[in-house]
Amino acid sequence: MEERLVPPDERALRLHLESGRFLSAGAAGRWRLVALDYPYVFIGVVARDEVEYVLRCECRDYPRTPATAQLWDMEANKPLPTARWPAGQGRVALAFNPGWKNGTCLYLPCDRLSIEGHDQWKTDHPSLLWDPDKGLCKYLGIVHELLNSKDYGGRRAA
Amino acid sequence: MKNIEILLQGEDIPDIQVVVIEHENAKGHQLLAKAAEHRKTKNNEGEFLIFMEDVDEPLDPGKTLPKSEKGSPCRMHVHRCRAIAVSVTFNGTTAEHRFGPGTTVEKVKRWAAIERFGMSPADAAEHVLQLAGTTVRPEPDTHLGSLTGNSCSVRFDLVPLKRVEG
């Protein structure tokens, strides 16, 4: 059987998914790997009400190029309907905004699509920028923090 | 023969390392040897101590390492400092305390925000520890001893999380 050559970006992603940083958060119940179908990886992030939100992260040219992620419905294999998105009044509503690029990415400085045209975020939010050394763990940590914040108000339709 | 898996942090050890030690009755000395392989500078002078996460007292390296709970890997720390002097500044007031090197940033934040600065748990969740004089905000499961450099101390600012707008 011919062995598939794993490209460097996929190899880097797989290494990050096996890293102590990723596994530590998994063991603490903050997130879990749901599926990997490169360049997509599906990761469930747990909110403070124990609801798990799955992010479909697109990781082309990882980790040199930032990932971009959207909320995903694994059963239907399509974007999560807006009614099941996280609710909030402040930081959560801004990050999980279905009106931003039609809900195809999160409104966060670490997201590849959202950082475009937002040069001021580099000085306003340096701690929220993509970090190639930490890769997805950085992105997921930011999302987990939002879903466990005071502002998080459960699912929109719940 | 069963292996034990350990999530290891420590002085001069980058990030969190997954360490596998053969045999479930492994002693602390074996972990210290593994930790030395992960140190960036390979500086092995002095006595390194083993700590369980969020426990202030070091383990006896001659004794068997504790078992993990519920199938999760053990979380341990290796450091030459017996305690880390921590200061957290918020609104011009500084709180100080000494913690074990394996204490998590999350535990220190809760101590500072709730116990020392009187926040509710909900308000504490709207704040984060940032290394003083930087924009670096260590992840909540980072151990204090990973942040000390060549000292036995670390200084934080407690800062509010800002909305992303614009």
**3-state helix/strand/coil string of chain A:** CCCCCCCHHHHHHHHHHCCHHHHHHHHCCCEEEEEEECCEEEEEEECCCCCEEEEEEECCCCCCCCCEEEEEECCCCEECCHHHCECCCCHHHHHCCCCHHHHCCCCCCCCHHHHCCCCCHHHHCHHHCCCCCCCHHHHHHHHHHHHCCCCCCCECCC
Q: What is the pLDDT of residue B59?
A: 95
Lowest mean pLDDT among A24-28, B43-47, B49-53, B80-84: B43-47
- What pLDDT band is residue B147 in, cutting at 50, 70 and 90? very high
Percent of the residues in chain A that have a pLDDT greater than 70, as a whole number: 98
> B 67-96 residues with CB below 8 A of A?
72-73, 75
Which residues in chain B are contacts of A128 at CB distance < 8 A? 164
Per-residue CA distances from A45 to A110, B46, B69 (Å): 16, 41, 22
Indicate the domain borders of chain B. 3-79, 84-160
- pLDDT tens for B22-33 read 877 889 999 999
Percent of the residues in chain A that have a pLDDT greater than 90, as a whole number: 96
Is the CB of A20 less than 8 angstroms away from the CB of B16?
yes
Is it the case that residue B131 has pLDDT exceeding 70? yes
- What pLDDT band is residue B140 in, cutting at 50, 70 and 90? very high
pTM listed for this prediction: 0.94
What residue in A sits closest to B5 (Cα-Cα)?
A20
Provide the 8-state DSSP code for B121: H
> A 121-140 residues with CB below 8 A of B?
121, 124-128, 137
Domain total in chain A = 1
Best of B75, B110, B161 to disrupt the A interface (most A CBs within 10 Å) is B161
Is it the case that residue A1 has pLDDT exceeding 70? no
- What pLDDT band is residue B3 in, cutting at 50, 70 and 90? confident
Range of the domain at A58: 8-147
- What pLDDT band is residue B1 in, cutting at 50, 70 and 90? low
Domain B3-79 shares a fold with domain B84-160: yes
Q: How far is B18 from chain A (nearest CA, A)?
A: 5
Q: How far is B63 from chain A (nearest CA, A)?
A: 25
Is residue A155 one of the residues assigned to a domain?
Answer: no
* A15 in Cβ contact with A1 (< 8 Å): no
Q: Does B8 touch chain A (CB under 8 A)?
A: yes
ipTM of the complex: 0.91
Q: What is the pLDDT of residue A3?
A: 74
**Catalytic residue ranges of A:** 110
Backbone phi and psi for residue A40, each to the nearest 5 degrees, phi listed first: -100, 140
**Which of B128, B141, B164 is nearest residue A28 as measured by Cβ atoms?**
B141
* B48 in Cβ contact with B32 (< 8 Å): yes
What is B84-160's CATH topology? Ubiquitin-like (UB roll) (3.10.20)
Q: What is the pLDDT of residue B71?
A: 75
Is the CB of B161 less than 8 angstroms away from the CB of A91?
yes
Is residue A38 one of the residues assigned to a domain?
Answer: yes
What residue in B sits closest to A120 (Cα-Cα)?
B166
Q: Does A109 touch chain B (CB under 8 A)?
A: yes
Cis (ω within 30 of 0) for the bond into A39? yes
What residue in A sits closest to B163 (Cα-Cα)?
A91
Is it the case that residue A140 has pLDDT exceeding 90? yes
- Which class in CATH covers the domain with range B3-79? alpha beta
Is residue A26 one of the residues assigned to a domain?
Answer: yes
